[in-house]
A = this chain, B = another copy of it.
Amino acid sequence: MSERIANELLKSKVMSADEAAQFINNGDAIGMSGFTGAGYPKALPTAIANRAKEAQSKGDEYKVDVYTGASTAPDCDGVMAEADAINYRMPYMGDPSLRKSINEGNAKYQDIHLSHSPQYIEHGFLPIDVAVIEVTRITEDGHLVPSSGVGNNVEFLDHADKIILEVNSWQSLDLEGMHDIYRIQKLPNRTPIPINQPGDRIGKTYIDIDVNKVVAVVETNSADRNSPFKAPDDVSKQIAGHFLDFLEGEVKAGRLAYDEYIMQSGVGNVPNAVMAGLLDSKFENIRAYTEVIQDGMLDLIDAGKMTVASSTSFALSPEAAEKMNEQAAHYAKHIILRPQQISNHPEVVRRMGLIATNGMIEADIYGNINSTHIAGSKVMNGIGGSGDFTRNALISSFISPSMAKGGDISAVVPFASHIDHTEHDAMVIITERGVADLRGLAPRDRVKKMIRIANPEYQPLLEEYVEAANKGSALATPHDLSQAFAFHTRFLETGSMKK
């Protein structure tokens, strides 16, 4: 048996994943570890999927509600969705099979702000039966050393009736010390979260649990899902260039200093291009208060450009994950992994005065942002933490190529077909065409900026819409509602937003 289980009581609970899955009943709500493909359970999901298939073969039902930190992986959400084992899912997902099931009207999915999701558990809005949590190791005292993500693990462990632990020996033992586990006080006696700077540590390096709730411990040795890193393409580099110009402009205006930039960054290739750009910039002592550690941040740390990155999880390429596993002790000096309630907490985010930078599907001419749905109906992933950071940032920014799908989709539309961030929240929007700085602008002045960063192929169609909208009787935020979704209905009918 693995030396990673030092507690005698929990040693006695070691069993196979199939045996452990017997503790999970049809209809149960399961709180699973996992955030952006890191730290999710590797064995139980398949065992749950097998139970579902077995039940179906007998004409019985076996479905569960699955809560996580954020997205997981094919061997977690994927296998369960393919076995039709998921009834309800929250707060975020990104798995192709699960996405398909949701958009086919099968699995139910509630897309919740990542900082709100732990509140749903703590305050009993959503019941929880079983916590299934991956850990790096279990100490003699029964304390859990988390693995590559913390997410909602603390809340799941605190509120579940039963606990199943997966001890994954693929995770580096040197992750120990990187985590900062802090519990927000219970109402009505809450006090401030004492984090003033991204690097502040306020908690313990382990999660203490009621070991008597543990019904099973399962040993695994499996890699996290790590998405390959793509080198930035030309469009991403142009967007990154505009973003850096924007930062330089803030410095020139006296609103930012070269050593004051605190970054929050969404996941993806454009954000990674921004980080690559920062390597050669004048910005120094960059800090991140964000929800995921990406390849670009490790590069910034390696180059001495970034002093500290606070997050709740990793989202690394296979190469970067390997580097992390080899040098975790080194990176622990620069990286802190917190519960997502803390990494995304409005209190701390607002205090930091950070600059939030997230991707989007589309923005409308007034700066409302769609982060989640294609043509209003089809969910892609979810809002994730983008709302937590956007609303509370000092400056909120969104970055996206001006077109997608080979030009058939415009990132600037007359009316966003799903609104995840409102005109009150988005300050700066950037495409490869330039920067639309919407701060201090009334709606009709925003339109000019937004059309300027739209792709020229769509600019005439947007101008046409605005002209028609301005003929209406109310000109505060002019819309022609009969044509507001014409881009989208055309796309659904013809496959292109172009006329």
Residues of B within 8 A of A374 (CB): 474
Asked if A482 contacts B475 (CB within 8 A), the reply is no
Asked if A126 contacts B440 (CB within 8 A), the reply is yes
Known A120-B440, A196-B190, A424-B387; contact A376-B125, beta-carbon cutoff 8 A: no
* Segment from A49-57, A216-224, A327-335, A413-421 that makes contact with B: A413-421
- A391–B345 Cα gap in the complex (Å)? 12
Q: Is A119 an interface residue when CB atoms closer than 8 A count as contact? A: yes
Q: Which residue of B lies closest to A115 (CB)?
A: B350
* Segment from A132-140, A300-308, A485-493 that makes contact with B: A485-493
- A116–B103 Cα gap in the complex (Å)? 36
Interface residues of A in 418-437 (CB under 8 A from B): 418-425
From B194, B353, B392, give the contact of A188 (CB < 8 A).
B353
Extra A-B contacts (12), CB below 8 Å, given A378-B476, A473-B492: A103-B475, A105-B478, A108-B445, A124-B255, A187-B394, A188-B262, A189-B196, A346-B392, A378-B474, A419-B422, A481-B485, A482-B485
From B88, B124, B346, B353, give the contact of A187 (CB < 8 A).
B353
Asked if A475 contacts B124 (CB within 8 A), the reply is no
Asked if A383 contacts B108 (CB within 8 A), the reply is no
Residues of B within 8 A of A443 (CB): 110
Interface residues of A in 331-369 (CB under 8 A from B): 345-347, 350-353, 368
Q: Is A379 an interface residue when CB atoms closer than 8 A count as contact? A: yes
- Against B, the Cβ 8 Å flags (1 = close, 0 = not) of A125-163 are 110000000000000000000000000000000000000
Asked if B424 contacts A376 (CB within 8 A), the reply is no
User: Copies of this chain, how many?
Assistant: 2
Q: Is A233 an interface residue when CB atoms closer than 8 A count as contact? A: no
- Against B, the Cβ 8 Å flags (1 = close, 0 = not) of A247-284 are 00000011100001010000000000000000000000
Asked if B474 contacts A103 (CB within 8 A), the reply is yes
Asked if B190 contacts A353 (CB within 8 A), the reply is yes
- Against B, the Cβ 8 Å flags (1 = close, 0 = not) of A465-479 are 000011011111111
Residues of B within 8 A of A108 (CB): 442, 444-445
Known A254-B124, A442-B109, A474-B374; contact A192-B192, beta-carbon cutoff 8 A: yes
28 contacts between A and B (CB under 8 A): A103-B474, A104-B475, A105-B444, A105-B476, A108-B444, A108-B445, A110-B440, A111-B424, A113-B425, A123-B394, A125-B439, A125-B440, A189-B196, A191-B196, A191-B351, A192-B196, A192-B351, A347-B347, A347-B350, A376-B477, A377-B473, A377-B478, A378-B474, A379-B474, A387-B424, A391-B391, A481-B488, A484-B485
Minimum C-beta distance from A109 to chain B (A): 5
Q: Is A209 an interface residue when CB atoms closer than 8 A count as contact? A: no
Q: Is A373 an interface residue when CB atoms closer than 8 A count as contact? A: yes
Asked if A187 contacts B260 (CB within 8 A), the reply is yes
Q: Is A112 an interface residue when CB atoms closer than 8 A count as contact? A: yes
Q: Is A9 an interface residue when CB atoms closer than 8 A count as contact? A: no
Residues of B within 8 A of A422 (CB): 383, 387, 419-422
Asked if A377 contacts B346 (CB within 8 A), the reply is no
Q: Is A193 an interface residue when CB atoms closer than 8 A count as contact? A: yes
Q: Is A6 an interface residue when CB atoms closer than 8 A count as contact? A: no
Q: Is A76 an interface residue when CB atoms closer than 8 A count as contact? A: no
- A116–B390 Cα gap in the complex (Å)? 12
Q: Is A47 an interface residue when CB atoms closer than 8 A count as contact? A: no
- Against B, the Cβ 8 Å flags (1 = close, 0 = not) of A181-202 are 0000001111111101100000
- A374–B479 Cα gap in the complex (Å)? 11
- Against B, the Cβ 8 Å flags (1 = close, 0 = not) of A427-461 are 00000000000011111110000000000000000
Q: Is A102 an interface residue when CB atoms closer than 8 A count as contact? A: yes
Q: Is A235 an interface residue when CB atoms closer than 8 A count as contact? A: no
Interface centre among A105, A126, A253, A254 (most CB of B within 10 A): A105
Q: Is A215 an interface residue when CB atoms closer than 8 A count as contact? A: no
